[in-house]
Amino acid sequence: MNNSQQHSVTPPMAIFTDTFEPIANCHLRMAGSHIRWVDKLYDAIAAQQPLDAVTISKDDCCDFGKWLHNENTRLHCGYLHRYQNCVKKHAIFHIEAGKVAVLINAKKYDDALCALAHDSDFSRASIAVITAIFPAMIDPIFSAEDYWNPKLHFTLQTNSTLPAVGGQSPDFCLTNSELADVTLANYAGKRKILNIVPSLDAPQCMVVARMFNQKVSLDNTIVLTISADLPFVQSRFLEIAGVHDVVALSTFRASTFATDYGVEIINGHFAGLMAEAVLVLDEKNKVIHSQLLSELAQELDYKAIFAALKHSSEEIPDSQNANAMLSADSLSDVLQRSNRRECFRIDIPNSDLCYCKIILPAPRNNTSIEYKHAYGLSYNKIQRKFSDKLKQQKHLTKVGIHNENFMQLNLYDISSTGFSMMNYDEEFSYFLAPQSIHENCTVIIPNHGELVVSFEIMSRHKIAEYKINGFYELIGVSFINVKQSVDVAISSYVQEIERQRIVSS
């Protein structure tokens, strides 16, 4: 029997069976092959190397696509909804990858970089493929509603155990983004969260980094995300993901770090990598919490992490810490409503009109000329829009023309941690710079009314496919001190969209 004949009778893989079997290496390779697509495209941009966009756009040319469209696979799995969903998501992914390849071939490298950003169509399509392969791993709504009833069991074995609670953490010598050596002494007097991950290239590891970036705003506490990625790769991934409050450290010079901390995987497909783990250290590097994720489907115990930090802050009273620290109970409530799917945000249906109103602070006497100029352009733009709206409504008044002084931007996606909004007006761009903070803004969501929120702008990307007068950019924001009532309303809206999506799929 020749090789092609042998391949044609390969039994269908366990990912599409109703009675879920343990994850095998073949499933991990399939997911990994699509995670690595982003690296291939980044490499092509860096080398300014043209790609075969036509082939990339096809969904039956990669190894996974060949298996999906194999006659034997369709025979055994074609009737399953999960298989059909995976075929659909995989095809969409290759269409988006093909669009990026077209931009690269046209030497539009800046546009191609924007198209690879964390909140882009390509990124969402990539996540959708991984979700289709491992729904419970990234999208807990499937398991919560008994949608697929999966049992993910792939136990990782490590060389040793994590440093024990109550003991001292081993010192390390890691490398930061500036290629400088860093030890625990560099963070003396601070409480530290050591977030150890195999690679920031893995979706679940980036999710954890984003979660810490969004939830940890505590005085005298620093989050150190440690992986084997090269420092400039770490910086690139964190920048793309809009993660600014997490320090990335690389083990590429520290050959003994994994063994010293007991996180070196010694079995299976991941042998040689580091297992996911979290250590919480106090100001004197004593371990006050530790957790090793020994299974792929296991998640961090955020409640225990923040409870340990809260207990540590109570031992050393600090009024600022008391105000900044989230209670373990309130964080637990938030995290019970949040899940990994929300960190990637959910697209808002075209039928829903969700938008954000951002008030423009009027310039003062000591305001810069640049600000006054930008304010004047934006204010005039707002008034023209308001005037046009009133003319359409046929009740224009001289008083009414000056009643509005806010930018109104439609929302593109949303989660309990933030949202993205679309800006079609270049005049507004000045006020939407990354790291700028906007307080007491209004978000309007169907059936939930007006929600008052404050947020920080984390990313801004021009979209290659320009719309409306040749300007279109996507603004990603992260909530600041979101109120419980607002969080409940957004979570409820997200769940409504999820239910509609499942019913219509």
Q: How many C-beta atoms lie closer than 10 Å to residue 391's C-beta?
A: 10
Minimal CA–CA distance to 32: which of 323, 273, 209? 273
356 part of the active site? no
Q: Which residues contact 32 (CB under 8 A, 6 or more apart)?
A: none
| Element of type H or E holding 75 | helix 71-77
What 8-state DSSP symbol labels residue 74?
A: H
Q: Which residue has the tokens 């909530």?
A: 479
Are β-strands 247-250 and 221-227 bridged in parallel, bridged antiparallel, or unpaired? parallel
- Cβ atoms of 493 and 474 within 8 Å: the answer is no
C-alpha pair distances (Å), 12 with each of 19, 64, 71, 74, 77:
13, 12, 11, 9, 7
Residue 31, token pair as written in the block: 């997911």
3-state secondary structure of 208: helix
Cα–Cα distance for residue pair 145/103, rounded to 1 Å:
40
Residue 16, token pair as written in the block: 């599409």
**Strand intervals (E) in 113-259:** 174-175, 181-182, 191-196, 221-227, 247-250
Helices 81-105 and 37-47: angle between axes, nearest 10 degrees: 10
3-state secondary structure of 247: strand
3-state secondary structure 342-401: HHCCEECCCCCCCEEEEECCCCCCCCCHHHHHHHHHHHHHHHHHHHHHHHHHCCCCCCHH
Q: Which of 77, 205, 343, 356 is catalytic?
A: 205
Are β-strands 473-479 and 406-414 bridged in parallel, bridged antiparallel, or unpaired? unpaired
Cα–Cα distance for residue pair 498/162, rounded to 1 Å:
38
Residue 5, token pair as written in the block: 């004949």
- The catalytic residue positions are 205
